[in-house]
């Protein structure tokens, strides 16, 4: 290891990065766009969703319940339908996501028989949203029934259920997306950018010149990866600060622990990037391999967007091999729950193992495959 050689190499690497507008854009524009996008647009919060009401009863009870739904803040009664025939066209037009149907005699049945049925129809072309909407509506209907019952003297004992969403009482979607975005960005910058920049030297032929020079393979790897390690951590800081200031994401645990875990995860990503670059012959190859092999699984299988619990068994198993699957709970745990290594040590150990495994693998491959 020779400091002077390394220093010259770092200098060159920073010049490459600073002169390439696309690299800078990916390093800093991408994280910014992703946080804002996921924070504002991709939220799965329910707010003022358009619904239709088909009230065939039009009595005190049905009107009171409709008002309850409308005043909850979750729903907005956009359409008042006159006939069941209008339901289908309303859903088709996309104006509504849910419909509530009161049968004739709804109020009468409720008062005289003590029970009545109503129908809630959800637009299941988007099943996740439909399920959530129906759950919210059911909750409101259930509450209404209970209040009504308890206001009458004849009511028997009732159980009051009080729910609380621990750690994220407002159920902000950003809380799940920010950790996901961090895993994605670190993977993108560290693995993809490193593999591309090494593949570029191979493609251009400069790698041969470097390998013939007194630079050691380890020095080349260090020189190529350290700038990206630094920059990816910098863009992580940008993401975290943004999420805290704009979206009110908490930082309940140790910042130091989070920083160390980020560095550990970055090491895994970097060694994956080096490994890919030893396999790919050009920049395009490196890009496809890291996009398909790393970014897609990180996004789809790690539990970032889709919950792992609802995945088929085989996909869950594949998910275990993805570093983000282990890193995601760490970020969530530290930032939102405020827990430390006493809980997160298994995930940390897995990441440590992955880092060692891929680092050894890529170092062994590096010299043989690059020449």
Partner 1 sequence: MLLDPNSPSQNIIAVHQLTKKFGDFTAVDAISFEVRRGEIFGFLGANGAGKTTALKMLTGLLKPTSGSANVTELDVVRYPDKVKQCIGYMSQKFSLYEDLTVRENIRLYGGIYGLSNARIKDKTAQMLAKLNLEDQANALVGGLPLGWRQKLAFTVALLHEPGVVFLDEPTSGVDPLTRRQFWDLIYEAAHQGVTLMVTTHYMDEAEYCDRVSIMVDGQIKVLDTPRNVKNQLQATSMDEAFRILARPQNTAS
Which spans of this chain sit near partner 1 (rule: CB under 8 A)? 2, 4-5, 7-9, 11-12, 15-16, 19-20, 204-206, 208-216, 371
Residue with smaller CB distance to partner 1, 2 or 171 = 2
Nearer to partner 1, 4 or 47 (CB): 4
* Cβ atoms of 370 and 280 closer than 8 Å: no
Distances from the Cα of 148 to the Cα of 53, 64, 68, 136, 156, angstroms: 21, 11, 12, 18, 12
Minimal distance in Å, beta carbon 21 to partner 1? Answer: 11
For partner 1, the closer CB: 204 or 234? 204
Question: In the bound complex, what is the minimum distance in angstroms from residue 370's beta carbon to partner 1?
Answer: 9
- We find the least distance from the C-beta atom of residue 212 to partner 1, in angstroms, to be 4
DSSP 157-210: --PPP----TT-TT--THHHHHHHHHHHHHIIIIIIIHHHHHHHHHHHTHHHHH
Closer of 15 and 343 to partner 1 (Cβ): 15
Contact criterion met (CB below 8 Å) for 242 and 328: no
Q: Which is nearer to partner 1, 186 or 286 (CB)?
A: 286
Q: Which pair of structure tokens corresponds to residue 211?
A: 């390998």
Nearest Cα residue to 367 out of 202, 197, 193, 189: 202
Strands (E), the chain: 49-55, 75-81, 98-102, 119-122
Residue 24 vs 349, nearer CB to partner 1: 24
Nearer to partner 1, 138 or 213 (CB): 213
> Which residue, 7 or 67, is less far from partner 1 as judged by CB?
7
Rank residues 59 and 203 by Cβ distance to partner 1 and give the closer one: 203
Closest approach, Cβ 216 to partner 1, in A, equals: 8
State in angstroms the smallest separation of the CB of 290 from partner 1: 22
Output the smallest distance, CB 278 to partner 1, in A. 15
What's the min distance (Å) between Cβ of 205 and partner 1? 3
Q: SS in 3 state form for 32-49? A: HHHHHHHHHHCCCCCCCE
Question: Greatest CA separation found in the chain?
Answer: 94
Report, in angstroms and rounded to the nearest whole number, the Rg of the chain calculated over CA atoms: 28
CB of 94 to partner 1, least distance (A): 49
Minimum separation from the CB atom of position 197 to partner 1 (A)? 12
Q: Single out the residue of 164, 199, 367 nearest to residue 273, CA to CA.
A: 199
List all residues 6 or more positions away from 261 whose beta carbon is below 8 Å from its beta carbon: 327, 330, 331, 334, 344, 348, 351
Q: Which residue has the tokens 């993805």?
A: 322
Beta-sheet pairing, 119-122 with 75-81 = unpaired
Min dist. Cβ of residue 304 to partner 1 (A): 34
Q: Which is nearer to partner 1, 24 or 318 (CB)?
A: 24
Q: Which helix (H) or strand (E) holds 324?
A: helix 323-332
Residues 6+ apart with CB under 8 A from 358: 268, 271, 272, 275
Beta bridge partners of 138: none
């Amino acid at each position: 290891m020779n400091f002077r050689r390394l220093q010259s190499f770092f200098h060159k690497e920073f010049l490459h990065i600073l002169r390439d507008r696309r690299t800078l854009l990916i390093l800093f524009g991408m994280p910014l766009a992703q946080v804002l996008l996921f924070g504002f647009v991709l939220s799965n919060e329910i707010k003022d969703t358009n619904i239709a009401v088909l009230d065939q009863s039009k009595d005190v009870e049905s009107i009171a319940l409709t008002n309850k739904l409308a005043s909850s803040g979750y729903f907005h009664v956009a359409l008042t339908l006159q006939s069941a025939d209008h339901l289908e066209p309303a859903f088709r037009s996309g104006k509504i996501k849910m419909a509530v149907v009161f049968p004739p005699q709804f109020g009468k049945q409720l008062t005289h028989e003590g029970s009545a049925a109503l129908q809630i129809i959800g637009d299941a072309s988007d099943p996740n949203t439909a399920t959530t909407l129906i759950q919210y509506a059911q909750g409101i209907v259930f509450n209404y029934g209970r209040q009504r019952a308890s206001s009458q003297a004849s009511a028997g004992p009732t159980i009051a259920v009080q729910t609380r969403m621990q750690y994220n009482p407002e159920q902000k979607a950003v809380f799940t997306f920010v950790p996901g975005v961090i895993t994605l960005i670190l993977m993108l910058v560290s693995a993809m950018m490193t593999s591309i920049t090494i593949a570029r030297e191979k493609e251009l032929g400069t790698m041969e010149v470097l390998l013939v020079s007194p630079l050691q393979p380890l020095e080349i790897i260090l020189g190529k990866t350290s700038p990206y390690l630094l920059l990816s951590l910098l863009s992580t800081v940008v993401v975290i600060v943004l999420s805290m200031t704009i979206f009110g994401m908490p930082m309940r645990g140790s910042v130091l622990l989070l920083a160390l875990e980020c560095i550990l995860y970055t090491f895994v990503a970097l060694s994956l990037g080096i490994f890919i670059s030893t396999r790919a012959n050009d920049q395009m190859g490196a890009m496809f391999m890291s996009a398909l092999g790393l970014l897609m699984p990180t996004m789809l299988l790690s539990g970032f967007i889709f919950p792992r619990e609802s995945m088929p068994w085989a996909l869950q198993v594949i998910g275990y091999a993805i570093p983000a699957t282990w890193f995601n709970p760490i970020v969530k745990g530290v930032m939102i729950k405020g827990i430390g290594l006493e809980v997160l040590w298994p995930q940390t150990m897995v990441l440590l193992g992955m880092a060692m495994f891929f680092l050894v693998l890529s170092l062994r491959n590096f010299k043989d495959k690059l020449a």
